[in-house]
Amino acid sequence: MSKKITLLNQVTGPLFIDIANEYAKKYDEVILITGALEPTYADLDKKVKVIYKIAYKRNKSYQRIFTWLIFYLQTYFYFFLKKNIDEVLIVTNPPILPFLGSNFFLKRKINFSVLIYDVYPDALSNFGYIKETSFLYKFWDKITKKSYSNAKELITISSVMKKVVSRNISEDKIKVIYPWVDTSFIRPIQKGENWFIEKNNLSTKKVILYSGNMGETHDLLTPLKVAKELSETHKNFHFLFIGDGVQKKRLLDYTDEHNIKNVTFLPYQDASVLPFSFAAADFSIVSLGTGAEGLSVPSKTFYSLAAGAAIIAISEKGSEIEQLISKNNCGVSIEPNKVNLMKDFLINTSELDLEKKKKNARSLSKQFTVKNVKYFLN
């Protein structure tokens, strides 16, 4: 009997392409329902059949919600009309997608697993979008718990997230598979050999990089305030922000208002540029909003480790990132809004200590390689 699986993820990036390719090795038929395939170092196996639905739009809240709802409905009707569905892997992207498993999949006798990238509705409550006492939160929580209970398996991306999910679901059902990066694609590059550094006039600078979504919940004002304080006293530091998001205009306005000269903003870079932009960093910022320490693990963490950058994690205590840093001496974890702590760390980290932290980061990244993908089928 042939083995078939359908994969659901509105945004298919490099990690999920690796996952789809792994299933293609062992399954006779793999269908990927997605909104977009992000350009990446990985090519999707030709065996995987891609069915496109509405793409995710992140720039405005109403666009995010609208594209979530439409993707959910499109997926629902796909399964409503489709027969002979053997197995499904649902990703919490969009976060309402696991609702399919609360009742609909149960009635259709469809086996499904859920890959939990972010814990909902907790994340929405934590950042003030909805209240825990609201009907929407209670309804969302109830449906999610039912779906997770019906699932064959739940997969989280950190041990801290597993603890959060296991408050309502048996730990025996939850598996942890850490994210990964291709460490041959993202790797340390000597400054003199990195064209990105030369192009952006960073050859004589210690680069502090933030690369990724500049969302409302990320504390990016703290590093910008540090940049302001260091702009006159320590001109060898340069802060590089790459990406976009709802917070970007505010950061640009703050930079202009205070005439901060040691900051550069760049748009998202092509996939081919990523090895060079990440390798440009001496220090790499990973920011988690207050309360999100158990709800998510930014994938940029693993890119930064692979590039051999010392990590500056802006996070409340208890996050997975803080634990990785403290155990492996590859950076520092600072609570949000602690401008002086971040400034002191940058100033007081010697060249010798920085090189040690960078080497430790690269060494740690070897635990998070594409080999991790095999655990999806074990």
CA angle 43, 49, 51 (to 5 degrees): 105
> What are the start-end ranges of the E strands in 92-171?
111-116, 153-156
Q: What is the pLDDT of residue 1?
A: 45
Mention every residue, 6+ apart, whose C-beta is less than 8 A from residue 174: 154, 155, 156, 162, 165, 166
The residues that bridge with 263 in the sheet, in sequence order, are 239
Owner of token pair 């693990």 = 297
3-state helix, strand, coil in the chain (%, to 5): 45, 20, 40
Span 221-246, average pLDDT? 93
- Average pLDDT along the chain: 90
46 — pLDDT class (breaks 50, 70, 90):
very high
Residue (of 59, 38, 130, 93) closest to 296 by Cα position: 93
In this predicted structure, the answer to whether residue 333 has a pLDDT above a threshold of 90 is yes
Q: What is the pLDDT of residue 100?
A: 94
Stated pTM of the model: 0.85
**Domains of the chain from N-terminus onward:** 4-177 (3.40.50.2000), 191-365 (3.40.50.2000)
Q: What is the pLDDT of residue 290?
A: 60
